[in-house]
Copies of this chain bind each other. A is one copy, B any other.
């Protein structure tokens, strides 16, 4: 790869594209930013990826020090893939691209799915640290069958898959989620027409929406 599909430029940006610019590579990184995953987890999170391509990308990124294999504890055993520190450094770039793309999402197409990892990254990348100064909020979010949570504290966010039993708020939503973050729909409207359902303080959705922005 290094010499095959290189760009022929001694340039940091070109080098980045050579290392993670091939098809599916950054999608794999996106999912691994959420946490270590097994081969089959990645397959599930990236519907449509051919197994040989997944194998090839993992091998390449292992060789270039972006991904590493780690043994999984018993039971289950086997191996999982996780980002190295150098791979984790891609987070800023993934978030920047994610923010840019989120503005251009439009409405979901018929064949488009939503995954839990994409929502975790969406929360992290649209998070507004300045708006979160001094605020504290823990939320469990449900998007159809998908459950994730976020904890906002001291201007930082931790977002991860799964429920959060003692969350301040439980927000159940769906297609209204993007318009809410893009300020194309107000929390009031969303709650009124039932595209967002809230459990917790009445103004929690307003607070939530202030913390994120597309």
Contacts and interface: CB of A to CB of B under 8 A. Distances in A.
Interface in A29-86: 30, 46-48, 64, 86
B93 A10 contact: no
Contacts of A153: none
Interface residues of A, number: 55
Interface in A1-38: 3, 5-19, 21, 23, 26-27, 30
Interface string A96-136: 11111111110011011111001001100110000000000
A15 B113 contact: no
A17 B9 contact: no
Interface string A164-201: 00000000000000000000000000000000000000
A104 B19 contact: yes
A151 interface: no
Contacts of A125: 12-13
Given A93-B96, A93-B97, A97-B93, A102 B10 contact: no
28 contacts: A6-B109, A6-B112, A7-B27, A7-B48, A8-B111, A9-B115, A10-B105, A10-B108, A10-B118, A11-B101, A11-B122, A12-B100, A12-B105, A12-B122, A12-B125, A14-B27, A14-B101, A14-B118, A17-B97, A17-B101, A18-B101, A19-B101, A21-B26, A86-B103, A86-B104, A92-B100, A93-B93, A93-B97
